[in-house]
Amino acid sequence: MISRKRPFVIAHRGACGYLPEHTLAAKALAYGMRADFLEQDLVATRDDQVIVSHDIHLDRVTDVARRFPERVREDGRYYARDLDLAEIRSLTVSERVNADGSAVFPGRFPIETGNFRVHTFKEELLFVRGLNRATGREVGVYPEIKAPSWHHTEGVDLATLTLEILDEFGYRSRDDKVFVQCFDWRETRRLRGELGTQLPLIQLIADSSWRESDTDYAYLLSDKGLRAMSEVVDGIGPWINQLVDVQAIDGCPVSTGVVARAHAAGLAVHPYTFRSDALPKGFGSFDELLAFFLEELGVAGIFTDFPDLAVQFIHQQFSGESSKM
């Protein structure tokens, strides 16, 4: 058993390994599984309401194409920005599907089962506040400002709306149990600079092929980029495949060195996404994956679809202090 600060568990879109992502049911389950933080991906509606949904598109997780077929854009997608909150509330949320309608994770909650709904960021913060009061725990929130540049082209400042809501709910200082995350380096700097937030910030690191933003992620992972980030953010949220390589000779996973270099720059590391039903190459079990990242690499926290499994592993392997920011 390891005796050092216990790493924390971030419920990625809630306990979405068991229930449809970003539903309040998935968040309640993650809370009951004793996750340390609940994640909220944020996008804006046509009437500038901030909702909790992973994408600016709605068609892969709701029945929007059936309910509002006329709202399709030229690219064939349905955008949250094209519907008012009242219209979005009428949609049914389901397990995420591919373009052909098949489940992204076939072994998870059945598609088109249940009566799940989209909710607002304010509603989720009220939900977390209520659970914290009822249980005496202090579970944190971990909002992501999605596609800020795109939102700007749509005439909405999602970062400002997000900070205003957080302030309304008392999240104002570095000591509050919150992290604000973003893939767009320009917007992350704006959060700290122009918008003046003191909240802990996490710079997410994507693979450039995903086209999350025009950010040069290879630069951010260089020593120079890590030093630049250390002047602005508290940590980084890299894709797990950026932190591990598999040796060609024996197939064993080895560190790419990113975590050590980030730590040397004073940055915490919160990698994503840990899934027991989608293990990276080189790992034979979920516990093996967790052991490599939490024990060998020493990351501070992890995003996972299966918070119960991560909490159980950490409880068994770590002693000493409770998890802290």
Residue 25 lies in a domain: yes
Residue 75 lies in a domain: no
Residue 170 lies in a domain: yes
The reported pTM is 0.95
Residue 193 lies in a domain: yes
| Number of helices followed by number of strands (H, E) in the chain | 12, 13
Residue 87 lies in a domain: no
Look at residue 246 in the predicted model and tell me its pLDDT: 79
3-state secondary structure 204-258: EECCHHHCCCCCCHHHHCCHHHHHHHHCCCCEEEEEHHHCEEECCCCCCEEECCH
Look at residue 5 in the predicted model and tell me its pLDDT: 85
At which residue do the structure tokens 């918008």 appear? 195
Residue 89 lies in a domain: no
Residue 64 lies in a domain: no
Identify whether 54 is a catalytic site residue.
yes
Residue 148 lies in a domain: yes
Instruction: Output the domain CATH number for residue 26.
Output: 3.20.20.190
Q: Which of 54, 57, 119, 270 is catalytic?
A: 54
Identify whether 12 is a catalytic site residue.
yes
Consecutive H or E run containing 297: none
Look at residue 85 in the predicted model and tell me its pLDDT: 98
Look at residue 112 in the predicted model and tell me its pLDDT: 83
Q: Could you say which DSSP state residue 71 is in?
A: G
At which residue do the structure tokens 């630049």 appear? 228
| Number of domains within the chain | 1
pLDDT in tens, the chain (325 residues): 333 689 999 999 999 999 999 999 999 999 999 999 999 999 999 999 999 999 999 999 999 999 999 999 999 999 999 999 999 999 999 999 999 999 999 999 999 899 999 999 999 999 999 999 999 999 999 999 999 999 999 999 999 999 999 999 999 999 999 999 999 999 999 999 999 999 999 999 999 899 899 999 999 999 999 999 999 999 999 999 999 997 755 778 999 999 999 999 999 999 999 999 999 999 999 999 999 999 999 999 999 999 999 999 999 998 654 554 4
Q: Which of 12, 22, 57, 119 is catalytic?
A: 12
Domain range spanning residue 262? 2-57+121-319
Helices 158-168 and 121-135 cross at an angle (nearest 10°) of 30
